């Protein structure tokens, strides 16, 4: 199953992808604004959400 197909058919994967994108973007902005600790935790949260999407993709395919 392609990743785009997974995101269009699995609402949990889509939600995790959106949350991951928001967290990674927020982490990048926090690091750019010299809030390093907050940025690191936001980036880690984004990567965890990305791993949820990848796990669901591997499980479906």
**pLDDT single digits (tens) 14-51:** 999 999 999 999 999 999 999 889 999 999 999 999 99
pLDDT tops 90 at residue 60: no
Closest listed residue to residue 49, CA positions, set 8, 7, 1? 7
Asked if 53 and 8 count as a contact pair (C-beta separation under 8 A), the reply is no
pLDDT given at position 3? 81
Query: pLDDT tens digit string along 43-59?
Result: 999 999 999 999 988 88
**DSSP track, 1-61:** --HHHHHHH-HHHHHHHHHHHHHHHHHHHHHHTT-HHHHHHHHHHHHHHHHHHHHHHHHH-
Every domain of the chain and the residues it spans: 3-60
Note the residue count of the chain.
61
Residue 2: pLDDT band with limits 50, 70, 90? confident
């Amino acid at each position: 199953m392609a990743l785009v197909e997974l995101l269009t058919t699995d609402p949990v994967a889509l939600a995790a992808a959106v949350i991951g994108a928001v967290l990674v973007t927020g982490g990048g902005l926090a690091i750019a604004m010299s809030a390093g600790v907050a940025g690191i935790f936001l980036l880690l949260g984004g990567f965890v959400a990305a791993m949820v999407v990848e796990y669901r993709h591997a499980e479906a395919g």
